Structure 1
Amino acid sequence: MIEQKDFEVIIIGGSYSGLSAAMSLGRSLRQVLVIDSGLPCNRQTPYSHNFITHDGEKPAVISAKAKLQVDFYNTVQFYNGLAISATKTENGFEIKTESGLSFTSRKVLFATGVKDLLPEIMGFAECWGISVLHCPYCHGYEVKKEKTAIIANGEMGFEFAKLISNWTKDLRVLTNGKSTLSDHETQILKDHKIEIIEDEIDSFEHENGKIQNIVFKKQSKIAVKAIYSRSPFEQHCHLPEVLGCELTQQGLLKVDAFQKTNITGVFASGDSVIQARSVAMAVSSGSFAGAMINKELIDESFG
């Protein structure tokens, strides 16, 4: 049980970005509370890549190691639970949790990430993060030169196909319905021997999340080793919006160069603000946010 109720900073979200910010603030001697519900977006992903010193490590191992290191700083405390409300007060903020506990702070950092809105294709959710991938920089090397599909359409499908062709030439674009690629885009893809399939997708055949076949509603199927898909998303936590924080056109929390939102005292970092989602970038933005929060607290103490 946490006896302390008032902190200098409350961090909502205790994954890579939140823990990185907590380390910056702990090393700055700040009284910090990290509230985390334990549901990181990459919890189904078996291995994390493209993060130097941790390449190929399991995501849960990285976060457990990070938490252990942050816990060394005795001004940082952890609360395992869900934050359900955030209110602006005269001196800062009040955060209430699902269990009924309330905590107050001068500053709040949202490192809450985003929630992927997966299509209703049977087997998609089970393969997400395992063989259905969002980022070639995170996972492309492991499926290089393999038979690969991209689920996308229009200009995004065209640009995504160009990108993924760097890792494999055995590539096809699944528009999952009528193609909205322009004639010019279609011709360029054909010139590069990238097949365009317009059949609607019915389901994925897989084994423990490892894709085997894509089944179409016409009952035909193709075998692939990997699929890339950029699903729409929403903010995992809507408390920033309740406080009045603005979103970008892409649905990310809008922050300035110092990780500040438009609401005084509210900062954000990690996947909730970064379009290019990766562990390394989440850690980077969290570390910077922690330093910027500490600077703001120092500036305020000098009037």
Structure 2
Amino acid sequence: MEQKHFEVIIVGGSYSGLSAAMSLGRSLRQVLVIDSGLPCNRQTPHSHNFITQDGEKPTVISAKAKLQIEIYKTVQFYNGLAIKALKTEGGFEIITESGEIFTARKVLFATGVKDLLPKIEGFAACWGISVLHCPYCHGYEVKNEKTAIIANGEMGFEFAKLISNWTKDLRLCTNGKSELSLEQTQILKNHGVQIFEEEIDSFDHKEGYIKKIIFKNGERVEVKAIYARPPFEQHCPIPATLGCDSSEQGLLKVDGMQKTNIPGIFASGDCTTQMRSVAIAVSTGSFAGAVINKELIDEDF
């Protein structure tokens, strides 16, 4: 790639980054999208709750988006991994794994998060297929089915309440001693929620589709879907090295304009919000692109 300086570099070329690229491309901005091709939903067979694309494969959505963005000749793509960034007098310098250096006045991180999956045999294979994180994205497809939730304490109680909207055939697996209060336990039992405190050994599944939860005491429970919210970390460590603040949950802090606490650095998509969905990623990316364009206009006018 001959061009090395851009007005905006977007690190992360999934839904939020692509949406920002379209917004900036239509604003006639010189943009570089750096992406390593590892979206967090790469194992998910279908995306839902996004109008005009409901039920489509995530890879099809992103491929179609990229084709549409390539119409805007001011937007370029770089297939690779950004590993370092430096603040410069004129903006920022982004260094890739292969050693290439690109500069820009503004940077948008749309880098998502990395889920830290538990060491339960079969969990990783089922993640995004039949082990789900969001009922709004996938709950309709498993409505009224035998469903389990892996969670404990306050989170387990609230998660069970939420999922009960989609199915009444529900069991809560605390994967160890329950941290529910006596009141919470009774409320769940009154609503027909079974509670399993035994530690989970593995999942019996076929090509990612769960059949049974196998506990360490040998008990087996048949289910068609599981909800879980494993811990996560930022997929990209660069914002932290630049001084960007994070929340207690580990999300990049942004204001209402998708700005981080570091001037010139913006963030959007899953790395900034617990509401992880394609629709929200697209929304925040599009808005971030418009805000970045306006900031460049204000600086130059």
Aligned to 1:190: 189
SS at match of 2:84: strand
Aligned to 2:133: 134
Identity of aligned residues (%): 77
Superposed, which structure 2 residues align to 1:243-262 within 5 Å? Answer: 243-262=242-261
What is the CA distance between 1:275 and its match in structure 2?
1.0
User: Following TM superposition, where does structure 1 have runs of at least 4 consecutive aligned residues deviating by more than 6 angstroms?
Assistant: none
Whole-angstrom distance in 1 between the partners of 2:144 and 2:212: 17
What is the CA distance between 1:300 and its match in structure 2?
0.4
SS at match of 1:212: strand
What is the CA distance between 1:113 and its match in structure 2?
0.2
One-letter identity of the residue aligned with 2:172: V
Gaps of 5+ in 1: none
Aligned to 2:44: 45
Superposed, which structure 2 residues align to 1:1-303 within 5 Å? Answer: 2-302=1-301
What is the CA distance between 1:204 and its match in structure 2?
0.3
SS at match of 2:259: coil
What is the CA distance between 1:167 and its match in structure 2?
0.2
One-letter identity of the residue aligned with 2:262: I
CA displacement 1:15-67 (0-9 Å, x = unmatched): 00000000000000000000000000000000000000000000000000000
Whole-angstrom distance in 1 between the partners of 2:138 and 2:15: 18
SS at match of 1:77: strand
SS at match of 2:76: strand
What is the CA distance between 1:226 and its match in structure 2?
0.2
SS at match of 1:258: coil
Whole-angstrom distance in 2 between the partners of 1:221 and 1:160: 22
Whole-angstrom distance in 1 between the partners of 2:141 and 2:32: 37
Q: TM-score, normalised by structure 2?
A: 1.00
CA displacement 1:83-118 (0-9 Å, x = unmatched): 010000000000010111100000000000000000
Whole-angstrom distance in 2 between the partners of 1:299 and 1:259: 17
Q: TM-score, normalised by structure 1?
A: 0.99
Whole-angstrom distance in 2 between the partners of 1:33 and 1:274: 24
Would you say how many aligned residue pairs link Structure 1 and Structure 2?
301
Whole-angstrom distance in 1 between the partners of 2:20 and 2:275: 19
Whole-angstrom distance in 1 between the partners of 2:22 and 2:88: 26
Whole-angstrom distance in 1 between the partners of 2:259 and 2:282: 17
Whole-angstrom distance in 1 between the partners of 2:219 and 2:172: 16
SS at match of 1:211: strand
What is the CA distance between 1:249 and its match in structure 2?
1.0
Gaps of 5+ in 2: none
CA displacement 1:199-223 (0-9 Å, x = unmatched): 1100001000000110000011011
One-letter identity of the residue aligned with 2:223: V
Whole-angstrom distance in 1 between the partners of 2:30 and 2:151: 46
One-letter identity of the residue aligned with 2:69: V
One-letter identity of the residue aligned with 1:45: T
One-letter identity of the residue aligned with 1:68: L
Whole-angstrom distance in 2 between the partners of 1:299 and 1:188: 56
Whole-angstrom distance in 1 between the partners of 2:161 and 2:241: 39
